[in-house]
Chain A
């Protein structure tokens, strides 16, 4: 199975901050990577797929980049509703696997 790691695992930030989360794959996955946001007690919400394609309805402050084994999710200006846990997922090969998550908390 392809293993995904995320860094940092926890991030404390303020409203307005620029935030970057990194996802690394144990082997190359081209651009087959998605990002999700999850709030407590809720299902994950798709933010980005194909590494950099913004899902319809997702604010443009979210962006994704990368290919191969290293990917980033950037929030250009953190908003109060963005405090959540973020997961990456590889869709290059079965079984599709998720990263362990990055929790973004209020500083």
Chain B
């Protein structure tokens, strides 16, 4: 059973960089067949796709966030990471990491999510 777990600071100051890591267990990021994705949900609101990475390092970013987002992968640690720069209060959200099936593009396994608050 694949499990994903987000980790990182729960509080980030405005203008700083939000950094989160997703640790994958029960399966290898390098096995192929899946993208590894970040999705966020603003408090009480809907879901927003941030982007994803393949184990080879190829990425896709949501154009609305592309100038501020970097997703990277560390296959040796079976982890992938999110960096979001120049954050504002509008970036306050629950951030989820998820495994996305390559064949269907659907996230089939999700982490539990981590709340990141942007505040001074």
Contact = CB atoms under 8 A, between A and B. Distances in A.
Interface in A11-52: 32, 34, 42-46, 49-50
Contacts of A46: 106-108
Interface of B: 46-49, 60, 62-64, 96, 98, 104-108, 110-113
Nearest to B109: A46
B46 A91 contact: no
A66 interface: no
Contacts of B48: 98
Q: Say whether chain A's binding surface is mostly helix, strand, loop, or mixed.
A: loop
Contacts of A43: 96, 98, 110-113
A71 interface: no
Contacts of B64: 95
A97 B110 contact: no
Interface string A55-98: 10000000000000000000000000000000101010011111
B111 A98 contact: no
Contacts of A49: 104, 106
B97 to A, nearest CB: 10
A91 B96 contact: no
Contact of A95 (B49, B106, B111): B49
B10 to A, nearest CB: 15
Contacts of B47: 44, 87, 89, 98
A46 B100 CA distance: 11
B60 A94 contact: yes
Interface string A93-107: 011111111000000
A95 B110 contact: no
Contacts of B49: 95-98
